[in-house]
């Protein structure tokens, strides 16, 4: 019998074998227990992503500085304060109002909050994120806020059975990333392209992702 911890450890090793060493493997931990999160940390995963603030707080309290916590779910403005206080990076900034809230709370905590802009690369009505043509404008506005620093872009993209269908959404996001990088906006330090999940991370890496967010393939089905 192989224990749940060993299963997670094996999954981490399997994924690490298939990705370049400079790509960050982030564990998408929604619905997972503290034991599962501890197991993934024991297996060497440092970056942990959460979609929901409420679920994340007890885990963040127990894990503390042993991991780097990413907010990867839609962030409501009334939760910004808690997220700034507890997370290390916010991947889902999609409005200037939210960015201003983050800036204000970060300033109060004497902190500079790293953020990514979430891109609605599939132009889906029901999805969060900003449309591709709106990213540049939001990036420039964010660059004027002193207590947060824009460090990259994140996208989900539509879900497909065939992961190759995701490619065009990842490449769209990478092109925006490249254009923004060339603009050399002051106070913007673009480093991260967060794209790809369990079924699509290989395609995402081919299209330039250097953070992949993996749930199912690490922990099993939800």
> Pick from 114, 94, 92: which is nearest to 103 by CA?
114
72 scored as a contact of ligand PLP (CB under 6 A): yes
| Vertex 120 angle, CA 176 and 199, to 5° | 95
If binding is defined by CB under 6 A, does position 214 make contact with ligand PLP?
yes
28/60 with CB nearer ligand PLP: 28
Question: Considering the rule CB under 6 A, would residue 215 count as an interface residue with ligand PLP?
Answer: yes
Which one of residues 197, 203, 205, 211 is an interface residue with ligand PLP (CB under 6 A)?
Answer: 197
Residue among 145 and 212 whose Cβ is closer to ligand PLP: 212
The backbone torsions φ and ψ at residue 46, rounded to the nearest 5 degrees and listed phi first, read: -100, -30
Size of the site for ligand PLP (CB under 6 A): 12
Closest CB to ligand PLP among 60 and 72?
Answer: 72
End-to-end CA distance of the chain: 21
Residue closer to ligand PLP, measured from CB, 34 or 183: 34
Torsion-angle region of 160 (φ positive above 0: left; ψ -120 to 50: alpha; else: beta): beta
Distance CA 67, CA 89 (A): 12
Would you give the distance in Å from CA 168 to the centre of its chain?
A: 19
Binding to ligand PLP (CB under 6 A) within 2-61 occurs at 28, 30, 51
Binding site for ligand PLP (CB under 6 A): 28, 30, 51, 72, 156, 197-198, 213-217
């Amino acid at each position: 019998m192989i224990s749940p911890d060993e299963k997670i450890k094996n999954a981490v090793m399997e994924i690490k074998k298939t990705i370049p060493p400079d790509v960050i493997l982030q564990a998408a931990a929604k619905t997972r227990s503290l034991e599962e999160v501890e197991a993934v940390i024991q297996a060497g995963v440092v970056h942990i992503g959460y979609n929901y603030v409420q679920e994340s707080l007890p885990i963040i309290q127990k894990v503390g500085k042993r991991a780097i916590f990413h907010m990867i779910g839609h962030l409501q403005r009334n939760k910004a304060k808690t997220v700034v206080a507890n997370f290390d990076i916010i991947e889902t900034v999609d409005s200037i109002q939210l960015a201003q809230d983050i800036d204000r709370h970060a300033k109060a905590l004497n902190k500079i909050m790293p953020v990514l802009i979430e891109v609605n690369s599939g132009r889906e009505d029901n999805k969060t994120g900003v449309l591709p043509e709106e990213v540049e404008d939001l990036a420039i506005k964010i660059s004027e806020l002193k207590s947060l620093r824009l460090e990259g872009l994140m996208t989900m993209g539509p879900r497909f059975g065939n992961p190759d269908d995701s490619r065009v959404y990842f490449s769209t996001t990478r092109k925006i990333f490249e254009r923004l990088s060339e603009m050399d906006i002051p106070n913007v330090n673009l480093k991260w392209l967060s794209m790809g999940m369990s079924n699509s991370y290989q395609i995402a890496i081919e299209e330039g992702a250097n953070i992949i967010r993996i749930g199912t393939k690490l922990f099993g089905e939800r």
